Chain A
Amino acid sequence: MSIQVKYFASLRDRLGRAEDRFSAAEGTTIAELWAALWPEIPLPPNTLTAVNMEYASLQQPISDGDEVAFFPPVTGG
């Protein structure tokens, strides 16, 4: 299945890119997706994650066509 991945702010700068497209097995969790994409880089502890623009836990399984986002703590307002 095909997953669209997005990175924002300091995390994007650190990784050196804003987006990835990735093929994963059905039922892959967000944590597993990160480990597959970035085997050398542990997920920074404060990272927030979203699936289809809704906050999600690292244990949430993803589905074909999902948009998964990784980003640092938010600092608006």
Chain B
Amino acid sequence: MRVELRETPFEPLAELGRYQTDQHQLLGQYGATAIFIGTMRDYNQQTMVSQMTLEHYPGMTERYLRRIAETASREWSLLDALVIHRVGELQPNDPIVLVAVWSAHRAAAFAACRWMMEELKSKAPFWKREDTVAGWRWIEHNTPG
């Protein structure tokens, strides 16, 4: 299992490929991989967004991400899990988050990946600030889904 914050842009599919190649214990074991990738859009709440800043609570954010991955692993008997989340300054089209899970069968992989994203969105201490033509603004709450 790996949980990581990144201060610079990352390529989710390349990360996923590298990580899976290194997890030799998965070979022959996993039948299902589910992934979620969240990406920054250039339009939100009727305004063009030119840049976004992701703030976090150093220490607490890592703790909650790890707990979410560990809880899901236990609950759905996952074989492995990978979470990478950006912090700092992002541009439109930059990936924000990657969640990947490996399990024997698809039901566990789909359910765990979905649950982890919802938990991350409601519990992990991150805050988005958007730069728009009209100035910057804090995002007050996440969209329902």
Determine which residue in A8, A10, A50, A76 has the highest number of CB atoms from chain B within 10 A of its CB, and name it: A76
Is the Cβ of B126 less than 8 Å from the Cβ of A77?
A: yes
**CA gap between A72 and B140 in the complex, in Å:** 8
> Which residues of B (37-95) have their CB < 8 Å from a CB of A?
38, 54-57, 59-60, 63, 85
B143 to chain A, nearest CB (A): 10
Contact of A53 among B38, B57, B121, B126 (CB under 8 A): B57
Q: Taking beta carbons and an 8 Å cutoff, which residues of A are in contact with B?
A: 6, 8-10, 13, 46, 48, 50, 53-55, 69, 71-77
User: A64 to B15, alpha carbons, bound, how many Å?
Assistant: 43
Q: Which residues of A contact B35 (CB under 8 A)?
A: none
Residues of A close to B120: CB separation below 8 A: 76-77
Q: Is the CB of A75 within 8 A of B139?
A: yes
Which B residues lie at the A interface, using CB under 8 A? 38, 54-57, 59-60, 63, 85, 96-97, 117, 120-129, 138-142
Question: How many pairs of A and B residues are in contact by the CB < 8 Å rule?
Answer: 74
List of A residues within 8 angstroms of B140 by Cβ: 10, 72-73, 75
Shortest Cβ distance from B86 into A: residue: A76
For B56, give the chain A residue with the smallest CB separation: A76
5 further interface pairs, Cβ-Cβ under 8 Å (given A8-B125, A73-B142, A74-B126) = A73-B141, A75-B139, A75-B142, A76-B128, A77-B97
Give which listed residue, B57, B63, B97, B123, contacts A71 with CB less than 8 A: B57
